[in-house]
Structure 1
Amino acid sequence: MYAQIRAHRILSKLPNFERIQSDENCFISDRDIDLGVIIGVYHNTDLDGEDVHVFSDGIRWKTGNKLYNVKYREILSIDLENKKDSKALVLHLINGNNVYVPINGRRGNFFDVMEVLRFFERVLNDTRGA
């Protein structure tokens, strides 16, 4: 529920974010990874097939031939790839891996990655009960 509220308040203002209304849980491919209810999709510009799907319990995206599924509770911390000029977020996972989530939209001097970072920070705080 937290992610839906945060997405409505933060992500829905981004022109590249498309809200999806659904009550069904989405299972990813044949791995049966339950990321919960689909909330929406962030459409990256200039990147082919690298949309980021936002769910109630995590996110999914594909880079090249690799499909990533990350639950919010698996994220230890988040950094910007290149400070304010970043086109990706770096997710530091509790298993020690780091993964890059592409977020490359911008409007003038405003980079979408900053709003997506704010979304993640709020959801992680909500999830941890902070």
Structure 2
Amino acid sequence: MPRSVHHVNLSVPEDGARAEGDWLVAMLGYREVDGGPEITALVESMGRRVWWFEADDGSQVHLSPGADHAVVPAAHTAVRLDDDLDPCIARLETGGFATRTIAFDGERHVFVTDPAGNLWELIGR
């Protein structure tokens, strides 16, 4: 039985990978990490590059830049934030990212589209 999700891998455009990584760090608080030489060798053997970002709980977001990037309209990534959502919403909106908030099951769910066009759902108070 699965215990948790370890990581998600998101497609990003080749020319937008840096902006996407900067967004993860500045807006959501992830930090860039090194996958190590074994992972680097594996990914390069497949003809890809992957950037790794990690949250304080160890969960990760991997970015795969490529010319074949395509946004999937129904797909999204949901993360639970352990803090009040207001500071995150303020950072997003100050950065020019439109947000939409709904209340559900006693929590707030904030939807935002990242620089690569991927939809995120941020869950918290």
| TM-score, with structure 1 as normaliser | 0.38
Q: Which has the higher contact order (CA 8 A, sep 6+)?
A: 2
Q: Which has the higher strand share?
A: 1
Task: From the CA coordinates, give the structure whose radius of gyration is larger.
Answer: 2
